[in-house]
């Protein structure tokens, strides 16, 4: 006879039955039952459709998030879900494809559905703070499921600060790739690395920021998730391209609405009538039929990601997407055609188009320009004078063992430039007389074609040799006009100059903590720019007579610039080298021993960047022209050199420039 089976439930009429006999007991039991029910097993995309709300503060399309709006993001988000075995997700993409919101969806999913420590990295700490205000705070405030898990910042001991958000079971820490302390702050199961191609080469000189951040996740082994996202930059130095090429290189294949052939969209298949970008249509790889913009929603909905390569690491998947896939209402094919036509003829605009529209790297031309051809382009204007198009002066100083070489450059609209003077101070940094001569140079002026006297707005001096002496001199003359700089290898298009940072200096044999201010310069960026400007095609003499202008960025050299100086200006070339892991990188190598002219050009260009020339609005340029009596909007000095009616203002210009807000 079997033993009675206990169901662990009270018999009718027992005392426990009386406990549930009160108003609201049924609701209490239902709530208790819901608490015991496991959360539904959601992917990141399913969570987003169910819980994510877009704020009008952070989105052009506020309201409930809909993955169907950008269906290509579904697989990317789902690869970030805990149920997917992928550990590293790489996304090389164009602008305006919805990547930022997908990353924010992942953050929301972690807070609500899969809590754990999470690290979100922006290129700089300042950008991390801005992203927190403009993206993360609205993400939490507008989604009820998140708002109830993150206490308001104003609440006492809320754990909700600008760069840290506590939630049950985890914490979101936000930092910048320029902060080694932030990257080493904690172990992290989840790591979100946004715009990795804008990261500095090293975080506080402690190593690659991507490597430092990823190291925080290694203790979580197979449970970790790392999401690397970026618009690419330059072939050979792009982090996101390197990671994508090591992955399975997935492309989004969509069907042709006419023949059904699956294909991934290539810019070469987009055709339009020249000068009429509104006629743009995509032509099918298989049937050659034109595909109109209105076909795009159905194509995207039926699309699928397909791997196109064998990955080096099976735990990494990679996705690439161009703006050709942007959904209707965002960036149309006509917009892309218009951007391409606008960029024609400008290397810089072409680079931006390739990076931000096609989501592809730019191939930097690193061959040194032909110095003989540059010598043939030398121009004649009065020695020691500034042509009319030059609106302010900067200098670059290179410190050598036995001398200090200085080049003075004039800058105009569109970064058109003129070499004004070349000064060699003999004796080197060990002699006080050398520094006295350099100080005297700061007080010199050069006559402008309009009659004004132009002084140096800023002198950038290299700190690579006799650093203490350079700091001491800069302290003595003031950091308002002298800018100590340190060159760093690698490209940085977002901010080729950073700083200033306070560094220790020595004065009178005593160490001064934070006694100097140092700027860091991505020298590769300015070297490549200089070579690109030197290659620009120029108008013929007849075209100049007819009113043609030199293109923006044109470099003008005077007749007194000798062949030795020109050879120094073209003394390096950009070559591709491979490291032990087989990854390619770009590196500048000397073609000849002396390259002081190129270095001085880079430092003078950095001084112009520090002065703000890359960020000035039209009003500032017009103001400079008005002060010098130059016709507003003038882009070439050819017709103004030596004209007596060009203006007769004799005010020394460096005084006015030095007082401009944001310069010093």
CATH number for the domain including 159?
A: 3.40.50.300
Asked if residue 617 and residue 494 are part of one domain, the reply reads yes
User: Residue 442: its pLDDT value, please?
Assistant: 92
Is the pLDDT at 204 greater than 50? The verdict is yes
| Residue 237's pLDDT band (cuts 50, 70, 90) | confident
* Structural tokens at position 14: 């027992």
In a domain, 509, yes or no: yes
Contact status, residue 188 vs residue 217, Cβ threshold 8 Å: yes
Domain-ending residue, one of 322, 348, 366: 322
In a domain, 285, yes or no: no
Positive or negative CA dihedral for 314, 206, 179, 599?
negative
User: Residue 664: its pLDDT value, please?
Assistant: 28
Query: Measuring CA to CA, which residue among 195, 173, 183 is closest to residue 100?
Result: 195
Asked if residue 393 and residue 316 are part of one domain, the reply reads no
Asked if residue 317 and residue 436 are part of one domain, the reply reads no
Q: What is the pLDDT of residues 474-522, one digit of tens each?
A: 888 888 889 999 988 777 666 788 888 878 776 655 667 766 889 999 8
User: Residue 8: its pLDDT value, please?
Assistant: 43
Asked if residue 550 and residue 421 are part of one domain, the reply reads yes
Q: What is the pLDDT of residues 374-385, one digit of tens each?
A: 998 999 888 889
| Residue 345's pLDDT band (cuts 50, 70, 90) | low
Asked if residue 205 and residue 120 are part of one domain, the reply reads yes
| Residue 646's pLDDT band (cuts 50, 70, 90) | very low
Report helix, strand and coil shares of the chain as percent, to nearest 5: 35, 25, 40
Distance of CA 121 to the CA centre of its chain: 13
Q: Write out the residue range of the structural domain in which residue 206 sits.
A: 44-249+309-322
Q: Which residues pair with 421 in a beta bridge?
A: 408
User: Residue 332: its pLDDT value, please?
Assistant: 93
Domain-ending residue, one of 273, 297, 322: 322
Q: What is the pLDDT of residues 164-194, one digit of tens each?
A: 999 999 999 999 998 888 888 789 999 999 9
Q: What is the pLDDT of residues 608-617, one digit of tens each?
A: 999 999 889 8
Over residues 122-151, mean pLDDT = 91
Phi and psi angles of residue 147, each rounded to the nearest 5 degrees, phi first: -60, -35
Asked if residue 242 and residue 164 are part of one domain, the reply reads yes
Over residues 398-409, mean pLDDT = 93
Asked if residue 163 and residue 79 are part of one domain, the reply reads yes
Over residues 427-434, mean pLDDT = 88
CATH number at residue 498: 3.30.420
User: Residue 3: its pLDDT value, please?
Assistant: 46
Find the range with the poorest average confidence among 249-263, 273-287, 511-525: 511-525
Domain-ending residue, one of 286, 301, 322: 322
User: Residue 584: its pLDDT value, please?
Assistant: 63
Report how many domains make up the chain.
2
Asked if residue 412 and residue 314 are part of one domain, the reply reads no
Asked if residue 491 and residue 395 are part of one domain, the reply reads yes
Contact status, residue 296 vs residue 256, Cβ threshold 8 Å: no
In a domain, 347, yes or no: no
* Structural tokens at position 646: 């060009």
User: Residue 651: its pLDDT value, please?
Assistant: 41
Asked if residue 404 and residue 541 are part of one domain, the reply reads yes
User: Residue 493: its pLDDT value, please?
Assistant: 62
In a domain, 299, yes or no: no
Average pLDDT of the residues of the chain: 84
What proportion of the chain, given as a percentage, has pLDDT over 70? 85
| Residue 557's pLDDT band (cuts 50, 70, 90) | very high
| Residue 154's pLDDT band (cuts 50, 70, 90) | low
Rounded Cα distance between 492 and 586, Å, is 13
CB under 8 Å to 91, separation ≥6 — which residues?
76, 99, 227, 228, 229, 230, 240, 318, 319, 320, 321
CB atoms within 10 A of CB 529: 20
| Residue 633's pLDDT band (cuts 50, 70, 90) | low
In a domain, 641, yes or no: no
In a domain, 512, yes or no: yes
Asked if residue 539 and residue 413 are part of one domain, the reply reads yes
| Residue 644's pLDDT band (cuts 50, 70, 90) | very low
CB atoms within 10 A of CB 650: 11
User: Residue 34: its pLDDT value, please?
Assistant: 61
In a domain, 451, yes or no: yes
Over residues 304-309, mean pLDDT = 95
| Residue 306's pLDDT band (cuts 50, 70, 90) | very high
| Residue 643's pLDDT band (cuts 50, 70, 90) | very low
Is the pLDDT at 321 greater than 60? The verdict is yes
User: Residue 264: its pLDDT value, please?
Assistant: 96
Asked if residue 223 and residue 152 are part of one domain, the reply reads yes
Find the range with the poorest average confidence among 246-255, 491-500, 520-529: 491-500
In a domain, 395, yes or no: yes
| Residue 650's pLDDT band (cuts 50, 70, 90) | very low
User: Residue 421: its pLDDT value, please?
Assistant: 94
DSSP 369: P
| Residue 277's pLDDT band (cuts 50, 70, 90) | very high
């Amino acid at each position: 006879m079997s033993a009675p089976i206990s169901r662990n439930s009270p018999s009718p009429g027992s005392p426990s039955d009386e406990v549930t006999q009160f108003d609201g007991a049924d609701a209490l039991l239902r709530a208790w039952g819901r608490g015991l029910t496991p959360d539904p097993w959601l992917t990141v995309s399913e969570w987003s459709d169910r819980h994510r709300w877009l704020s009008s503060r952070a989105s052009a399309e506020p309201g409930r998030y809909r993955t169907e709006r950008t269906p290509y993001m579904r697989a990317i988000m789902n690869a970030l879900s805990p149920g997917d075995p992928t550990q590293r997700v790489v996304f090389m993409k164009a602008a305006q494809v919805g990547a930022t919101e997908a990353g924010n969806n992942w953050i929301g999913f972690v807070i609500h559905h899969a809590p754990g420590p999470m690290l979100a990295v922006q290129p700089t700490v300042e950008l991390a703070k801005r992203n927190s205000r403009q993206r993360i705070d609205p993400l939490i405030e507008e989604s009820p499921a998140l708002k109830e898990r993150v206490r308001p910042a104003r609440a006492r001991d809320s754990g909700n600060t600008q760069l840290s958000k506590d939630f049950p079971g985890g914490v979101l820490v936000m930092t910048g790739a320029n902060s080694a302390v932030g990257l080493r702050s904690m172990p992290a199961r989840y790591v979100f690395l946004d715009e990795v191609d804008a990261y500095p080469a090293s975080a506080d000189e402690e190593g690659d920021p991507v490597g430092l951040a990823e190291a925080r996740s290694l203790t979580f082994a197979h449970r970790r998730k790392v999401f690397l996202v970026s618009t690419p930059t330059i072939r050979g130095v792009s982090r996101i391209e390197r990671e994508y090429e090591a992955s399975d290189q997935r492309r989004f294949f969509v069907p042709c609405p006419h023949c059904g052939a699956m294909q991934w969209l290539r810019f070469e298949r987009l055709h339009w009538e020249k000068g009429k970008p509104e006629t743009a249509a995509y032509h099918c790889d298989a049937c050659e039929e034109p595909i109109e913009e209105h076909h795009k929603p159905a194509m995207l909905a039926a699309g699928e990601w397909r791997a196109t390569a064998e990955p080096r690491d099976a735990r990494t998947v990679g996705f690439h997407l161009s703006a050709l896939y942007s959904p209707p209402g965002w960036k149309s094919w006509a917009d892309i055609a218009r951007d391409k036509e606008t960029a024609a003829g400008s290397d810089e605009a072409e680079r931006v188009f390739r990076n931000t529209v096609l989501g592809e790297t730019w191939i930097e031309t690193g061959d040194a320009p032909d110095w003989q051809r540059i010598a043939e382009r030398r121009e004649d204007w009065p020695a020691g004078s500034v042509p009319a198009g030059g609106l302010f002066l900067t200098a670059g100083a290179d410190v050598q063992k036995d001398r200090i070489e200085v080049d003075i450059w004039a800058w105009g609209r569109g970064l058109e430039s003129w070499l004004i003077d070349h000064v060699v101070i003999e004796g080197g940094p060990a002699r006080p007389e050398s520094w006295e001569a350099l100080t005297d140079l700061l007080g010199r002026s050069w006559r402008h074609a309009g009659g004004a006297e132009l002084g140096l707005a800023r002198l950038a001096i290299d700190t690579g040799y006799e650093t203490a002496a350079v700091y001491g001199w800069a302290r003595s003359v003031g950091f308002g006009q002298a800018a100590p700089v340190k060159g760093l290898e690698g490209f940085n298009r977002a901010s080729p100059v950073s700083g200033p940072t306070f560094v220790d200096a020595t004065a009178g044999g005593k160490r001064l903590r934070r006694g100097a201010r140092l700027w860091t310069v991505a020298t590769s960026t300015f070297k490549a720019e200089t070579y690109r400007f030197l290659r620009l095609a120029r108008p013929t003499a007849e075209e100049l007579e007819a009113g043609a202008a030199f293109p923006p960025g044109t470099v003008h050299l005077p007749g007194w610039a000798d062949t030795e100086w020109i050879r120094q200006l073209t003394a390096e070339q950009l070559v591709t080298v491979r490291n032990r892991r087989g990854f390619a990188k770009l590196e500048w190598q000397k073609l000849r021993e002396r390259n002081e002219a190129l270095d001085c050009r880079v430092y003078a260009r950095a001084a112009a960047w520090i002065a703000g020339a890359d960020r000035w609005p039209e009003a500032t340029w017009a103001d400079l022209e008005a002060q010098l009596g130059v016709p507003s909007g003038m882009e070439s000095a050819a017709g103004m050199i030596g004209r007596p009616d060009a203006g007769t203002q004799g005010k020394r210009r460096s005084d006015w420039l030095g007082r401009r807000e944001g310069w010093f």
